[in-house]
Structures are given as structure tokens and as C-alpha cells.
Amino acid sequence: MIGLLSALSRPQAEAFLNMFRRGLGEAGFAEGRNVTIEYRWAEGQYDRLPTMAAELVGRPVNLIVAQSPPAALAAKAATSTIPIVFGVGLDPIAAGLVASFNRPGGNATGIVMLPGPLVQKRLELIRELVPKAADAVLLVNPGSPEAAAEVRDILAAAAANRLQVRLLNATTPAELDDAFEALTERRPDALLIGGDPFFFNQRQTIVARVARLGLPTIYPFRQFPEVGGLISYGVNLVSPYRQIGIYAGRILQGAQPADLPVMQPTSLELVINLGAAKALGVDIPAILHARSDEVIE
């Protein structure tokens, strides 16, 4: 039995699940045939994750798949013996999930999508889209395990790009409303959305509020332009879940997490939504258009 622990809601995670099942299938496992999956969805409420992780440990499951940093940390805190395969966007060594990338050394391994090196590029893209931008806002979830590193990286990159960046915090839908009220009152030249699962879960709401403000915004993942956001630059979140499925299958067959290296995606993607650009009055430079991996009309 596999326990799947996610910070998202099930509808928002469907694409990840499909790719995860594909990887499981390549390893010889199919849900409902020779493996059972027990699901736990926190729906953006991270305080629910420790209880959910404890429930999975008590079942007991043979393996926990942890989607997002809060889920991985909750799973790691709940068990030091049940294997864990994670998909996270933070440094797993600093977070205490593994001893090293090549030799994890404990009961956890998985895929890491480190956001730090991408921050500089996102700010450069904002400069290309809004050349006269002097100030920007980063929307961040302070309750997220990766928040401190994300803020550190964005402030360092902003200084290098001579751009003033203010922080807006949101951990709940109500606080998200407050954040957009603040943006309405003190409008920046550009907005950056943090890579937290809460924002991913709220992406339709965020994109709709941004459209009403008419604010040039760069997002961390392609799923935002797919629902009407302007531009995104980052890793493909869905594809790595095939490897997570393969790792899960290998562990079910007897492999040890300690011996399976933590992997990192090597491909990044730039996605532009031309309809959003037109609505916002943003001209997409020809060179940026040519560099894009996908353009949504």
C-alpha cells in the first residue's frame, strides 16, 4: 500500500497523479491491480499534514509519496523507517530530509526542483517585459518551509538588478484577498508570485485578480499561463512525477531510499500567454517570443 500525502487538493493534483501512475506502471504496478493508494489532501492547509502523515503511518503503508515541501517534512517527522519519496522545491539537505544528493542515507529520496537559480532569471524577464520597472512585489507564503530561502534569493537578485522588491504575505484565502487589496492601494510596476503550493492551489483566483488589476506578473509554473496568466519561467512540475512513480515502484520491489540518488530536473520552460499580454497592454519582445518554449494564443 502506498500513502500519498499532498499539500494540494485532488482536482489541482490530477495531472501529477496521472504522471505518477505512469511511472508506477513502468515499474510494474497499477493502482487497483497490484497496489493500493491511500490519499490524504491538505488542500493548502499545512497544519493538517502532521495528522495526515500520522494516519498513513498508522495504517501502516509500505511507502509514502510526499508532494510538496510541507508534506515531505510532515512525513519525515512522522516516520524514520517507512520509505518516503518526495517532490519538493527546497534544499533537502538543509531541510534534514537527506544526508546528500548522491547517497540520501535515510528513509527518504525523491526529486528536487530548486527555485533559487530561477529567481534571477525571472527578474531579468520582468525587466524585458517592463523595461522601466523600478519596484516589484513578491507574493510569498511565510508559513512555507521554502519561504526564507525564496525571500533571500529574490532580495539578492533584486539588488543585482537595481529593482526594489517589497514582500506581501498570504497563507490563507482571506490573507490573499488582503494582499490584493494592498496591491490595489499601492500598485507596483510588476508582481512576482512565489512557488508555494498554496498559490498553485489558488492559481485561478490569483490570475483573475491580477487581470482585474492589469498588473504585469511573472509566475513560477506553466499552469498559471494555462489559466490566463501572462508569463511563467520554471521547471515542469508534472514530468518529474513519472520518476517519482518509478522510484516508488523500485522501493516496492525492494530497493532502499538510501541507495536511490535525489534527482533534479534539468529542463526549464518559458511559457507566454499572448492573450494575457494583449489584455495587459504588454508588448512581448520578439527575442523573448523566439526563446519561449510555448506560446498560448
Q: Give 147 or 244, the one with higher predicted confidence.
A: 244
DSSP 167: E
Q: Which residues pair with 272 in a beta bridge?
A: 231, 295
State whether residue 123 is helix, strand or coil.
helix
Average pLDDT over residues 68-88: 96
Q: Give 148 or 269, the one with higher predicted confidence.
A: 269
pTM greater than 0.85: yes
Domains of the chain from N-terminus onward:
2-113+237-259 (3.40.50.2300), 116-235+268-296 (3.40.50.2300)
State whether residue 222 is helix, strand or coil.
coil
Q: What is the pLDDT of residue 149?
A: 81
Average pLDDT over residues 269-285: 94
Confidence of residue 116 (pLDDT cuts 50, 70, 90): low
The chain-wide mean pLDDT, for the chain, equals 93
Residue with cell 506581501: 168
Would the pLDDT of 115 be above 90? no
* Alpha carbons 203 and 285: distance in angstroms, whole number: 25
* Alpha carbons 177 and 139: distance in angstroms, whole number: 12
Confidence of residue 226 (pLDDT cuts 50, 70, 90): very high
Q: What is the pLDDT of residue 118?
A: 79
Give pLDDT tens digits for 175-223.
999 999 999 998 999 999 998 889 999 999 999 999 999 999 999 999 9
Confidence of residue 120 (pLDDT cuts 50, 70, 90): confident
What 19-22 contacts at long range (C-beta under 8 Å, 24+ apart), as own/partner pairs, is 19/238, 19/239, 19/240, 19/241, 19/242, 19/245, 20/65, 20/241, 20/242, 20/244, 20/245, 20/248, 21/245, 22/242, 22/245
